[in-house]
Amino acid sequence: MTETLKKFVAGLELDTRMLGMIGALVILWLSFNMFTDGRFITPRNIFNLSVQTASVAVMATGMVFVIVTRHIDLSVGSLLGLIGMLMGTLQVHILPQFLGLEHPLIWVITIVAGVAVGVIVGAAQGWVIGYLAVPSFIVTLGGLLMYRGAAWWVTTGQTVAPLDSNFRLLGGGAEGTLGEGLSWLVGIIATIAAVVMMVLSRRQKNSHGFKLKPLWAEFTLGGIVIALILGFVTVMNSYPLPKGAVRRIYEARGEEIPQFAVMHGIAIPVVIVFVIAIIMTIIARRTRFGRYVFATGGNPEAAELSGINTKLLTVKVFALMGALTAIAAVIASARLGSVGNDLGTLDELRVIAAAVIGGTALAGGIGTIYGALLGALIMQSLQSGMAMVGVDAPLQSIVVGFVLVLAVYLDIAYRRRAGQ
Amino acid sequence: MTHANAAHPLVEMRDIHVSFGGIKAVDHVSIDVYPGEVVGLLGHNGAGKSTLIKVLSGAYKRDAGEIFINGEKVEIHNPRDARAHNIETIYQTLALADNLDAASNLFLGREITNPLGFVNDDAMEAETRKIMGKLNPNFKKFADPVSALSGGQRQSVAIARAVYFDARILIMDEPTAALGPHETQMVADLIKQLKKAGIGIFLISHDIHDVLDLCDRASVMKNGKLVGTVNVDDVTDDDLLSMIILGKKPGEETITS
Ligand SMILES: Nc1ncnc2c1ncn2[C@@H]1O[C@H](COP(=O)(O)OP(=O)(O)O)[C@@H](O)[C@H]1O
Ligand SMILES: [Mg+2]
């Protein structure tokens, strides 16, 4: 019995480490569900979890590259705060003077400016780390202090509000979701894309005469992927909007207020996370840049000897981290609808923890994007779950800290056994 | 001599000097190799052999000296420059990224991409299978990171990388250090085959008999200086040994103290 099960799992060629993480997540969800009398695994809570995870998840994908190249970025929380503050000021105090309030271009200009700042600041840090050889720990620790200070300066500590209403959609409030129909459409497109990719990959492997996975394994994997996608859409489409929000939305559109329940659908920030995760996975696996990131992390000297410009690579990795931090700032500030001086505080630790729990090795060279997403989800589940159960805030910190150390220990033990 | 008909050496390193802090690792050394020739580089640990060839492969910057290829002065400032001149190197440390598989290492810095610019792992694996089939038919671990390979298997990946890309000049820094007798013989056969194809080879080795078997000439270094370069046919293993240990060319008086 266990033998056949083992064979079955081996045939799927799945990453056993990832299976362990999914197992941990499932246990976590089931326990919280028990302790909250079934309030944890509900469409409402899963929707909230997905939105709360988004900002950290976006940054965690970039932190994977940073840690894989044997660096660290402690500045992301502060940089998120600074960029959030700059974007808030731009859309609330500056752009309306030229374009008028709620102009449809405001959110676009704001985001472009925010990403530009993220890229410039990130590249500057990367330049100091790569070319001046100052350790990333120090450079970004300096950044942590500088950007938080700079954020305060932008408004001398005042909160900026209310943010542009188009911009706020990106935070995933009642209006900031795809709605039922679009969510299904996205789910179906994702399903088709997944199937097409599996078929193409199999065909190419076959054309090179490589050994193929057995067909049953392909079908099982495909089935799991499709079930996950459509299951997620179903859950998001089972969480009804509050009556007040429905009235507000339909009145704004000038349409008749419906009598049936209107569902949320997938939140826009979650769509952003998926799009970024796909792009980052393609960068990691299918581009030269991604290949060089991993090669440099595995053996910097070998990378240099292979003609890779590892200094410039460092600049690019940190610039990318800056861009993702800006996108995370969009999500975080849009969700709150305002930008306060503490936006992003301690996020660097959540992001690093997500990447590390997700299997990114601090020694460099190893890490995956999907692992970081799972790590971010585990972290957020832990925190939300404890809050729902009613665990005191100080105890929450203790538990999260403990889990982080435990996760890294388990990872090290696992790798030692797997001989990696 | 094999190179009697070539007007210029394929590579000439002239008066190369490299120092690290106070240490003169390479002290005004000149070596050359002709097409189809194997030049052995001998000397104790720390003699400066690796440093000298790393100047040619672009890994180290020289403090003084010039490099000529086919009689023309060339500038080699980094490993990319060296590769552009078809200089391929098997480093003593192998220079493999342990976390990547054999194909990714073989093509590192020169990936096969599809028309959209994405790396084509399947094509690279197929090529890797082809060349490994010739070099080391027992090699099967194409999906594993090279950290999971034995010393010999890792060395064969490094060798495959150097010979895959049509090298004109091949630098081998102790290529058989981690190999068993059977694999060492395969490398010896490979060197003979490459020599026939007109490639110029610098072979660094600790094994004097390897050098006597495979090389046309041998250059001996000691304490960063060139002791001398000899035709292998004109010397015995004792001559080479005394060059390495005493730093004397054959025929020179040994000063007794
Ligand atoms: N990167 C480096 N930094 C400092 N010293 C070095 C470096 N590389 C080599 N050396 C020194 O240069 C000398 C020659 O070393 P090497 O060229 O490795 O000798 P060999 O290959 O003949 O054993 C040694 O004294 C070594 O310690
Ligand atoms: Mg050496």
Total domains in chain A come to: 2
pLDDT at residue A234, as a whole number: 97
Please check whether residue A85 is in contact with residue A155, taking contact to mean a CB–CB distance below 8 angstroms.
yes
Domain end residue (candidates: A233, A266, A299): A266
Residue A126 located in a structural domain: yes
Closest CA relative to residue B244, chosen from B208, B201, B204, B212: B208
Residue A281 located in a structural domain: no
SS (H, E, C) B84-111: HCCEEEECCCCCCCCCCEHHHHHCCCCC
Residue A4 located in a structural domain: no
**Cα–Cα dist A22/A42, whole Å:** 18
Q: Are residues A311 and A163 in the same domain?
A: yes
Cβ neighbours for B121, distance < 8 A, ≥ 6 positions apart: B103, B104
Q: Does the beta carbon of B43 sit less than 6 angstroms from any atom of ligand 1?
A: yes
Task: Kindly determine whether residue A282 and residue B118, on different chains, have CB atoms separated by under 8 Å.
Answer: yes
Of A157 and A32, the structure prediction assigns the larger pLDDT to A32
> pLDDT band for position A131 (50/70/90)?
very high
pLDDT at residue A255, as a whole number: 87
pLDDT at residue A11, as a whole number: 76
Candidates B93, B94, B97; nearest CB to A298: B97
Instruction: Tell me what the mean pLDDT of segment A100-113 comes to.
Output: 95
Q: What is the DSSP code string of A170-219?
A: GGTSSSSB-HHHHHHHHHHHHHHHHHHHHHHHHHHHHHTTPPPPPHHHHH
Residue A122 located in a structural domain: yes
Q: Are residues A323 and A382 in the same domain?
A: yes
Q: How far is CA A31 from CA A34, A40, A234, A265, A390, in A?
A: 5, 9, 23, 26, 14
Residue A328 located in a structural domain: yes
Q: Are residues A96 and A79 in the same domain?
A: yes
Helix pair angle (A310-336, A288-298), 10° resolution = 110
Please check whether residue A208 is in contact with residue B125, taking contact to mean a CB–CB distance below 8 angstroms.
yes
Q: Are residues A262 and A374 in the same domain?
A: no
Please check whether residue A329 is in contact with residue A54, taking contact to mean a CB–CB distance below 8 angstroms.
no
Whether the pLDDT of residue B35 is over 60: the answer is yes
Task: Kindly determine whether residue B99 and residue A365, on different chains, have CB atoms separated by under 8 Å.
Answer: yes
Helix pair angle (A215-236, A43-68), 10° resolution = 120
Domain end residue (candidates: A237, A266, A295): A266
Closest CA relative to residue A73, chosen from A109, A122, A37, A113: A122
Q: How far is CA A309 from CA A155, A316, B79, in A?
A: 40, 11, 10
Cβ neighbours for A417, distance < 8 A, ≥ 6 positions apart: none
Q: Are residues A298 and A385 in the same domain?
A: yes
Whole-number mean pLDDT of chain A?
A: 94
Task: Kindly determine whether residue A299 and residue B95, on different chains, have CB atoms separated by under 8 Å.
Answer: yes
| CB-count burial class (<10 Å; 0-12, 13-18, 19+) for A392 | exposed
Q: Are residues A366 and A224 in the same domain?
A: no
Whether the pLDDT of residue A263 is over 60: the answer is yes
For the segment B97-108, what is each residue's pLDDT rounded down to a tens digit?
Answer: 999 999 999 999
Closest CA relative to residue B95, chosen from B50, B131, B43: B50
Q: Are residues A259 and A361 in the same domain?
A: no
Residue A7 located in a structural domain: no
Of A162 and A418, the structure prediction assigns the larger pLDDT to A162
pLDDT at residue A7, as a whole number: 78
pLDDT at residue B221, as a whole number: 95
Q: Are residues A127 and A225 in the same domain?
A: no
Residue A361 located in a structural domain: yes
State the residue range of the domain holding A300: 14-175+287-418
Whether the pLDDT of residue A257 is over 50: the answer is yes
> pLDDT band for position B1 (50/70/90)?
very low
Please check whether residue A299 is in contact with residue B95, taking contact to mean a CB–CB distance below 8 angstroms.
yes
In total, chain B counts a number of residues equal to: 257
For the segment A280-308, what is each residue's pLDDT rounded down to a tens digit?
Answer: 999 999 999 999 999 999 999 999 999 99
Distance of CA A45 to the CA centre of its chain: 18
Of A118 and A101, the structure prediction assigns the larger pLDDT to A118
- Ligand 1 atom closest to residue B48's alpha carbon, by position in its atom list: 17
Q: Which two tokens stand for residue A326?
A: 């800006």
Instruction: Tell me what the mean pLDDT of segment B168-197 comes to.
Output: 90
Task: Kindly determine whether residue A303 and residue B97, on different chains, have CB atoms separated by under 8 Å.
Answer: yes
Task: Kindly determine whether residue A297 and residue B99, on different chains, have CB atoms separated by under 8 Å.
Answer: yes
Residue A204 located in a structural domain: yes
> pLDDT band for position A16 (50/70/90)?
confident
Other CB atoms within a 10 A radius of the CB of residue A353 amount to 24
pLDDT at residue A419, as a whole number: 62
**Cα–Cα dist B241/B239, whole Å:** 5
Q: Are residues A206 and A341 in the same domain?
A: no
Domains of chain B, earliest start first = 1-86+167-257 (3.40.50.300), 96-165 (no CATH)
Query: Using a CB cutoff of 8 Å and minimum separation of 24, what contacts does A108-113 make?
Result: A110/A164, A110/A167, A111/A87, A111/A167, A111/A326, A111/A327, A111/A330, A113/A86, A113/A87
Instruction: Tell me what the mean pLDDT of segment A152-163 comes to.
Output: 93
Cβ neighbours for B116, distance < 8 A, ≥ 6 positions apart: none
Instruction: Tell me what the mean pLDDT of segment A329-349 comes to.
Output: 96
pLDDT > 90 fraction of chain A, expressed in percent and rounded? 80
Residue minimizing CA distance to atom 6 of ligand 1: B20
Candidates B98, B119, B123; nearest CB to A288: B119
pLDDT > 90 fraction of chain B, expressed in percent and rounded? 78
For the segment A173-196, what is each residue's pLDDT rounded down to a tens digit?
Answer: 889 999 999 999 999 999 999 999
Q: Are residues A308 and A262 in the same domain?
A: no
SS (H, E, C) B188-199: HHHHHHHHHCCC
Q: Are residues A18 and A121 in the same domain?
A: yes
Whether the pLDDT of residue B220 is over 50: the answer is yes
The domain that holds A36 is classified in CATH as 1.10.3470
Please check whether residue B117 is in contact with residue A287, taking contact to mean a CB–CB distance below 8 angstroms.
yes
Other CB atoms within a 10 A radius of the CB of residue A360 amount to 28
Other CB atoms within a 10 A radius of the CB of residue B129 amount to 17
Of B164 and B5, the structure prediction assigns the larger pLDDT to B164
Of A257 and B79, the structure prediction assigns the larger pLDDT to B79
Q: For residue A204, which residues of chain B lie inside 8 Å, CB to CB?
A: 122
> pLDDT band for position B5 (50/70/90)?
low
Strands B217-222 and B225-231: antiparallel
Of the given ranges (A24-38, B149-163, B176-190, B216-230), which has the lowest mean pLDDT? B176-190
Q: Which among A204-208, A294-298, B179-183 has the top mean pLDDT?
A: A294-298
Q: Which of B29, B42, B50, B57 has the most ligand 1 atoms within 8 A of CB, as the residue to mutate? A: B50
**Cα–Cα dist B64/B60, whole Å:** 12
Closest CA relative to residue A384, chosen from A5, A24, A29: A29
Instruction: Tell me what the mean pLDDT of segment B21-32 comes to.
Output: 94
Cβ neighbours for B230, distance < 8 A, ≥ 6 positions apart: B217, B218, B220, B239, B240, B243, B249, B250
pLDDT at residue A91, as a whole number: 96
Candidates A287, A298, A419; nearest CB to B100: A298
pLDDT at residue B207, as a whole number: 85
> pLDDT band for position B257 (50/70/90)?
very low
For the segment A46-88, what is each residue's pLDDT rounded down to a tens digit?
Answer: 999 999 999 999 999 999 999 999 999 999 999 999 999 999 9
pLDDT at residue B253, as a whole number: 57
Of the given ranges (A137-146, B89-98, B138-147, B172-181), which has the lowest mean pLDDT? B172-181
Please check whether residue A86 is in contact with residue A116, taking contact to mean a CB–CB distance below 8 angstroms.
no
Q: Are residues A155 and A187 in the same domain?
A: no
Instruction: Tell me what the mean pLDDT of segment B17-37 comes to.
Output: 95
Q: Which of B23, B202, B244 has the most ligand 1 atoms within 8 A of CB, as the residue to mutate? A: B23
Of the given ranges (A59-73, A297-311, B56-70, B169-183), which has the lowest mean pLDDT? B169-183
Rounded to the nearest angstrom, the minimum Cα separation between B234 and chain A is 37
Cβ neighbours for A193, distance < 8 A, ≥ 6 positions apart: none
